[in-house]
Structure 1
Amino acid sequence: MSSKIKVALKVGIIQVNPQIGEVEKTVARVWNALEELEKKLNYDESLYPDLLVFPEFSLIGYHFESKEQIRPYAATGDMKNGPSYELAAKISKKFNCYTVIGMPEIYIDHNDNDREIFYNSSLMVNKEGEILYRYRKSFLYTQDYKWGCEENPEGYQNFDLEFKGKGTNLTTGEKNIDVTLKTGLGLCMDMSPYKFKSPFHDYEYSTWHLDHGTELMIFSMCWLHSSAFSEMSEQTAEEVIEDIEENLKLRNLPPIGSQGDFTFNLDNDDDIERIANPNTTKISYTNLKEPDMQNINYWILRFSPFVSMNIRQEVFDSGLVESQLNKPSQIRRSSYIGCTIEKPWGFEDKQAILLLANRCGIEQKCKVFAGSSNIMKFNGKYQETAYGMDSTNESVELLGGLTLGYEGILLRDVNITVNR
């Protein structure tokens, strides 16, 4: 007989603005922010997080152009060398929590003439400061290719993550039980269509994790704001730089945006105003103390398999699911937009948590990051009127977020009910 287990966690996200060549400054700011967090929690260890998550390339900046440029920042061997692991291990020991942090990795393939393989990786460090799990980015962004990054040959993955004493058996009433959550890590482009060429509605990352029963998804990113210059920009880099510089001058901020002015969001309020997708594809880099709702809504859209969608019954009844599952895809899948062969929505009456840790700030004067780190809960509640695949959809609970432009720490109590 299965039981329903309520899992009560405290999870946190640290949003930072790292710059290339300034690792020590970034580490110092992180420790200053964590010391301030302790003060705000009155040094009460019962209020400390069970899990802290950093963005992709958390300490080193992002826009590297070559292997030689990124090499000094890369972890090697057992991954225990370098500032990223060292910081994560110290934080985990201090707060008695799991810590997730992103960094580059150089792997030596002894089966291929000791060939160096560069990966964009994410580590989970346990409470003893030991590496519990390593994940390598599966889908690569254009910038990753510039420094020779390679795809994760194993693709998406998940694992069991234990939380001691955090569960309550709602069937028997037993409290303070140990519970494991099926957990998956992700890195930025993993959320997008493969090379921006795969069918949008394949939703590779979220489809894989729905199919594999993942209950806790931890996503680290260097996600760009729509005002950033990229290969797809309509403006030239010079025009983008001019707009950004003018905007920063109005706010008395340096060319890298805000740094050191941490915002703390610790009060457990659902403080995000739910709005539908804006009618424009480009939003100016303003309102830096508000979240970037354009990107938040896009992130929700990319997790559509976990979101209530009234069209699913029609898709299920049409027999389209089986034909779609027979089409080639970057992943092996047993669902399509959340529909399975057996039922219209495979996630109905289930729950999952999504942690989105994004960086903020500006690099190279025109690479603008979206910040807006966020904690979401997918509650599995079907709604016949669920039309919007955005923050207005009530099957998505926005538990709290950080701003577009400022470094900060987000801390939330999160409850999830799972079947065991």
Structure 2
Amino acid sequence: MKIGLVQFSPIPRNRKKNIEIADGLTQSLEKGDVDYIIFPEMIFTGYMFECKEDIKDFVEDGETGVTVTWAKELAKRVHSYVQIGYPQALIKDGKVLYYNSICIVNPEGLVRNYQKSFLYSQDEKWAEEGPGFQTYDFPELGQYRKAGPGICMDINPYRFEAEFTKFEFANFHKSKGTTFFPCSMAWLSSGDGEENLFNYWLTRFSPIVLQEDQADYKPSLIAISNRSGTEKDTKFAGSSCVIRVDGFKKVSLLGYLHEDQEGLIIVNTENNEEEDYDEDDE
């Protein structure tokens, strides 16, 4: 499978300009170049919103909104799944609720929306909790057809209050037999470096990484698209990556972007070949 990871620093609250950046990074893609493209969390709006009033002009419908419509066009053009984060407005029981969401669009334009289940403190200022983790069946992805998307804080302990070793996200997906974990993130930089960040992310997938090999064992893919840059003095970690898990403690870092790089990379998960399509070293 060929996975595309997009990483850049969005201009806060400038959806038009951010779409232009994304267009520039993906314009050279053709059919067959990629099977699944992942964009970061809330990449067209920026992440730092302070209340519902602050974000109300940027929330979108999950079927016809600006971001979903753009994702549909890209998915159709390159015949690929497209996953991208955005703030969603959803009507439930007559009330308009806001969610930190991702849409996943297949090559035929079918849209699935997943709402972030575990909110970070910044999300709690405006968003509702999603209904829970989800596993989707995407037959076109072959052995990685069981996909469990995540949004940033989803892989952490609930509100940082649950026990660290509860591993809610990973254990849920282990029980479902999920083999592909596409994650859209706005993960903050701790300043500890990429290697420590990769190790932390792997730790949060411990139930998957530490599975004992069985006769019917299936390899797993962890694919993370994280934004870069700084917004309101908050620095983000970048370091988008694809990691393959081939058995008990058998992990391979197949491709990644550095913390401050911007661009698109495509990682072929079967032969470990990484292709740089539009990458800028800052």
Determine which of 12, 18, 25 is the counterpart of 1:33. 25
**Superposition deviation, residue 19 in structure 1:** 2.4
**Is residue 209 of structure 1 aligned with residue 186 of structure 2?**
no
Correspondence for 1:135: 114
Correspondence for 2:68: 85
Correspondence for 1:125: 105
**Superposition deviation, residue 217 in structure 1:** 1.0
Correspondence for 1:410: 265
Equivalents in 2 of 1:185, 1:347: separation in Å?
A: 26
Equivalents in 2 of 1:207, 1:134: separation in Å?
A: 22
Correspondence for 1:116: 96
**Superposition deviation, residue 208 in structure 1:** 0.9
What does 1:19-58 correspond to in 2, within 5 Å?
Answer: 19-35=11-27, 37-38=28-29, 45-46=31-32, 48-58=33-43
**Superposition deviation, residue 307 in structure 1:** 1.7
**Is residue 74 of structure 1 aligned with residue 59 of structure 2?**
yes
Correspondence for 1:376: 243
Mark the CA change 1:197 to 1:348 in structure 2 (over 3 Å): closer, same or farther: farther
Residues 210 and 347, structure 1, Cα contact 8 Å, conserved in 2? no
List alignment gaps of at least 5 residues for structure 1.
1-8, 168-178, 228-281, 284-291, 309-337, 339-343, 383-392
Correspondence for 1:184: 148
CA-to-aligned-CA distance 1:128-162 (integer Å, 9 cap, x gap): 3331x211111000000112x11112x11102112
Report the secondary structure of 1:210's partner residue. Answer: helix
> Which amino acid in 2 is paired with 1:213?
G
**Is residue 17 of structure 1 aligned with residue 9 of structure 2?**
yes
**Paired positions, count:** 271
Rg larger in structure: 1
Equivalents in 1 of 2:163, 2:47: separation in Å?
A: 27
Correspondence for 2:125: 146
Question: How high is the TM-score relative to the length of structure 1?
Answer: 0.61
What does 1:173-252 correspond to in 2, within 5 Å?
Answer: 181-227=145-191
Correspondence for 1:367: 234
Mark the CA change 1:129 to 1:350 in structure 2 (over 3 Å): closer, same or farther: closer
Report the secondary structure of 2:145's partner residue. Answer: strand
4+ runs deviating over 2 angstroms: 80-83, 344-350
CA-to-aligned-CA distance 1:16-60 (integer Å, 9 cap, x gap): 21122211111111111222x44xxxx6x43x1011111111211
Determine which of 179, 182, 200 is the counterpart of 1:298. 200
Equivalents in 2 of 1:198, 1:347: separation in Å?
A: 33
List alignment gaps of at least 5 residues for structure 2.
272-282
Residues 160 and 180, structure 1, Cα contact 8 Å, conserved in 2? no
> Which amino acid in 1 is paired with 2:102?
S
**Superposition deviation, residue 415 in structure 1:** 3.3
> Which amino acid in 2 is paired with 1:194?
Y
Equivalents in 2 of 1:219, 1:86: separation in Å?
A: 20
> Which amino acid in 2 is paired with 1:23?
R
Equivalents in 2 of 1:346, 1:75: separation in Å?
A: 44
> Which amino acid in 2 is paired with 1:53?
I
Question: How high is the TM-score relative to the length of structure 2?
Answer: 0.90
What does 1:161-176 correspond to in 2, within 5 Å?
Answer: 161-163=138-140
Report the secondary structure of 2:269's partner residue. Answer: strand
Percent of pairs with identical residues: 34
Correspondence for 1:103: 86
Higher strand share: 2
* Aligned-residue CA RMSD (Å): 2.1
